[in-house]
Homo-oligomer: A and B are copies of this chain.
Amino acid sequence: MTAILPARLGQRLEEVDTPALVLDLDAFEGNLRRLNEALAGRKVRVRAHAKTHKCPEIARRQVAAGAVGVCCQKVSEAEAMVEGGIGDVLVSNEVVGAGKLARLARLARRARVGICVDHALQVNALGAAALAEGVQLDVYVEIDVGARRCGVAPGAPALELAQHIAGTAGLRFAGLQAYQGSAQHVRTMQERRERIAIAIEAARSTRALIAAAGIACPVVTGAGSGSFMFEADSGVYDELQPGSYIFMDADYAKNEWAPPLPRFEHALFVLATVMSTPVPGRAVVDAGLKASSVDSGLPTVWERPGLTYARASDEHGVIDVQAGAAGPALGDKLLLVPGHCDPTVNLYDWYVCMRGGVVEALWPITARGAVA
């Protein structure tokens, strides 16, 4: 597994065995800069989402670039981040189960740890875990700001839960988790702006209600790569949780990108080899759906005009060659832009980090498969 290295330092990209998950370091570092430039002069903090990359090497670079810490979705992911040197982790998700909560509380001995709730029973269980471990946990109330997934309704239900947290030993009410996930891939700027305006208003009014009840609401946190400038400019959000901005996948590339959002560059690729050229107009690569997740659409072929990734099966990708286009030869290597970066990363144990066409580093994806 991770013990088998996917490439050698100094190797040229075309020598790397395939399929391989390739990170273009110039584009990645450029994306870190683009985020900072877009947010320059604003008071919001970045809490980058580590579910995207699952890699402490990347998290440390995000913190070095100014992020206050990271978000995770799972306790096991948070453990990998703390183990990798990150001192401030928010599990931006509900967690149920005594074993997981005990681990979360243990983690709070080594790092600042936050967690979300949307039910009183979760609060009770968290309090018990914090007391048993002798730690204090930051607890955020998740409100449903339009994604219809987890979260209590904005307003009174959130206040009730905040009061419950404030009255529970071992817990500190830390604020609101207000992430509108379903808006991130709405294609037009205008529609995304409208969806986020609803989220902002829900967060604003809920925070005001909680403050009016005499409970401090230190942080409103949320936002993703497709919308974060709207939240940043709202005056309501204190922390932003973009994840995919570092990689930019094919699905995000289908969004309209216009100011105030910066245009990020593709930094994540799957390197594939043409293993079959059975008939004119068709080539087959060795990267199928076990090499590039297809849940949000097929990968696209990078900088090879006329080539379209048309079908994926487990271990095959069928490439259509447009009439008149130069078809790839057997053995050619193609870079694919994954349809969805997060689950694609979760298929690999290593990033092959490349600069100027040469392998510069190998970064382990230590939280790969950390779903528990």
Contacts and interface: CB of A to CB of B under 8 A. Distances in A.
Interface string A304-343: 0000000111111010000000000011000000000011
B276 A118 contact: yes
A155 interface: no
A289 B343 contact: yes
Contact of A313 (B19, B181, B330): B181
A368 interface: yes
A284 interface: yes
A295 interface: yes
B1 A93 contact: no
A290 B346 contact: yes
Contacts of A331: 96-97, 121
Nearest to A80: B1
Contacts of A53: none
A126 to B, nearest CB: 13
Interface residues of A, number: 68
In the complex this chain forms, how many copies of it are found? 2
A276 B369 contact: no
Contacts of A152: 278
A19 B371 contact: yes
A1 to B, nearest CB: 6
Interface in A39-96: 51, 73-74, 76, 93-96
Given A346-B347, A372-B6, A276 B318 contact: no
A149 interface: yes
Interface in A274-314: 274-279, 282, 284, 286-287, 289-291, 293-295, 311-314
Nearest to A17: B372
A259 to B, nearest CB: 28
A144 interface: yes
A155 B320 CA distance: 24
Contacts of A9: none
B347 A273 contact: no
B342 A369 contact: no
Contact of A273 (B97, B290, B368): B97
A148 interface: yes
Contacts of A222: none
Among A100, A279, A295, the most chain B Cβ lie within 10 Å of the Cβ of A295
B343 A369 contact: no
A204 interface: no
Given A2-B1, A343-B290, A96 B149 contact: no
Contacts of A121: 330-331
27 contacts: A1-B1, A1-B349, A1-B368, A4-B76, A17-B97, A19-B371, A20-B372, A51-B315, A73-B314, A93-B315, A94-B275, A96-B273, A96-B330, A96-B331, A97-B273, A97-B331, A121-B330, A148-B282, A148-B318, A149-B316, A149-B318, A150-B316, A289-B343, A294-B295, A295-B295, A314-B342, A348-B369
Given A17-B100, A74-B315, 20 more contacts: A1-B2, A1-B349, A1-B366, A19-B372, A73-B315, A94-B276, A96-B275, A96-B286, A97-B331, A119-B276, A148-B318, A149-B284, A149-B311, A151-B276, A153-B279, A181-B313, A289-B293, A290-B342, A295-B295, A347-B369
